[in-house]
A and B are shown apart, each in its own frame.
Chain A
Amino acid sequence: MRVFVVDDHAVVRSGVRAELDGTAEVVGEAADVTGAVDGIRRLRPEVVLLDVHLPGGGGRAVLAAVAAELPQTRFLALSVSDAAEDVIAVIRGGARGYVTKAISGPDLCEAVRRVHAGDAYFSPRLAGFVLDAFRGAAAGELGLDPELDQLTRRERDVLRLVAAGFTYKEVGAKLSISARTVETHAASVLRKLQLSNRQELTRWASRHWP
């Protein structure tokens, strides 16, 4: 796996490099939006670890610049940020997952593998944000179609267990479904999130997380 790391802190970049050692090859690094866009265009990595907060416009700006032209490249958001607005924005910009920088080495490797395979990776925190976004009362504000865009009961169960810290495999075992089916549910939640009305969602997020 060829991975590109975008973070404005050298400490974080070298930490990630060390943690991915053996799982993936870090082919390049960047500390800001311009460097990231150039590097990603030049090196065409398979996975980009993308900091949400970056000088020059944030992870969102990187996604806006390169996500459409490089459909083979997958993005995994990596941040200390707790602000739902920022996290939801990079997911909707095309990132296939979000992990906090407190994530353990093995979990990070797992997340990179998953995103590389084209799947979605929900960290507990992201699962919580998404559950909140699709809650009954919020769904109306979001401009979600109550029939089409609601989470199914199964998707909700999956997200709850992910939010409680279970791995996809454990979630599958607890719900008596295969890990692959858990994947399918996660992917469909990601799709619903990316398709719903952008402005409504941003407005909702900024109201709930000042």
Chain B
Amino acid sequence: MDVRMRWHLAMAAAGLALVGWLVWAVGHTEPPPWPVLLADLIAVIGLAIVPWLVIVGRQLTRVREGERLMSRVVVTVAIFAVAGPVLGMLALRMFDQDDSTIALAVAMMSMAAAGIIALVGGVLVPGLLLLVRTLARERSARVRAEERAEVAAHLHDSVLQALTLIQKRADDSRSVRQLARSTERELRVWLYGAGPSEAGDDLAAAVRAVCEETEDRFDVAVELVAVGTCPLDEPALAVVGAVREALTNAGKHAGVRQVSAFVEASDGELLALVRDRGRGFDPGLVPADRRGIADSIEARIRQHGGTAQVRSSVGAGVEVELRVAR
């Protein structure tokens, strides 16, 4: 508590004491002439309330809405404090020079109103506001601390562990890549959620799982873009199965580290595209006993009234396009 604060408090205490004295004086002494009474009133109410206003106001100026509230209160109080006596004096001049009771009553009521407004609007309400804000700030600080602890725990479990393993296995580039990929996946899901399909049992989630499985089995990175999703009904399951087969083929035969997959569930159709820029093959030269593409991709999709196209030529990669109506 600084010196100024102490002065304000002392003044406020003196003001309160004076209020007590005023109340006693009204009851026990003859009323003085009205200008004296008015001046007394202004001094006492001012001394009892202004220091509090200043104390609260100094803290409030740090809060934007507080500043606005404070200036409004000050203006309103000033209007009441000035308007009452002015009206009283006007009334005195215009009507009756001798009887000053009505004018005095108006002035006093207005002064009292100013005091009450100052007390409620300038001290009580802002005080409550400050209290509520302090509590809210404390709560959010606690929440932040908890979140930080959770982040730290998570980073330790995933990222730190992976980094340690990567240092240990630095010579085994394949397992380093795999570790980096799976850690990245995990961290991504943790940071941003799994996307629109967090429930886990829809088309997008199933395809994502298939892509992750392929990445782990074949040391390739699958860049998946999924747009929209739908429940895993029969046609959707067929698409997932065919995509898995297409990715498996790419992982096994393409000889590249990057495969792209696109899956879209729109109102009328499921569309999946899987492509790699790898070795490719000549579709005319596939031996009849190699049934992967024919059974696992084409037959599966055709069974649900869809179309499957596998386009490739030697050196130009493979492109699989699946369409099934819903």
Binding site for B on A (CB under 8 A): 81-83, 102, 124-125, 127-128, 131-132, 135-136, 160-161, 163-166, 208-210
Contacts and interface: CB of A to CB of B under 8 A. Distances in A.
A165 B196 contact: no
Interface of B: 188, 191-193, 195-196, 198, 221, 223, 225-228, 260-262, 264, 266-267, 271, 273-275
B260 A124 contact: yes
B192 A82 contact: yes
B262 A136 contact: no
A125 B222 CA distance: 12
B264 A160 contact: yes
Nearest to A165: B260
Nearest to B276: A165
A165 B275 contact: yes
| Chain B interface main SS type | strand
A163 B227 contact: yes
Contacts of A81: 192
Nearest to B196: A208
A160 B196 contact: no
B225 A125 contact: yes
B67 to A, nearest CB: 25
Given A132-B227, A160-B271, A208-B196, A165 B266 contact: no
A171 to B, nearest CB: 12
Nearest to A136: B267
B169 to A, nearest CB: 21
A56 B232 CA distance: 43
Contacts of A210: 192-193, 198
Contacts of A166: 275
Nearest to B277: A165
A131 B227 contact: yes
Given A164-B261, A166-B275, A128 B227 contact: yes
Given A124-B223, A131-B264, A132-B227, 18 more contacts: A82-B188, A82-B191, A83-B192, A102-B221, A125-B225, A127-B225, A128-B226, A128-B262, A135-B228, A136-B266, A161-B273, A163-B225, A163-B227, A164-B260, A164-B262, A166-B275, A208-B195, A210-B198
Given A82-B192, A83-B192, A166-B275, A132 B228 contact: yes
Which of B191, B223, B275 is the most central at the interface, judged by chain A CB atoms within 10 Å of its CB?
B223
Nearest to A133: B227
Which of B191, B195, B225 is the most central at the interface, judged by chain A CB atoms within 10 Å of its CB?
B225
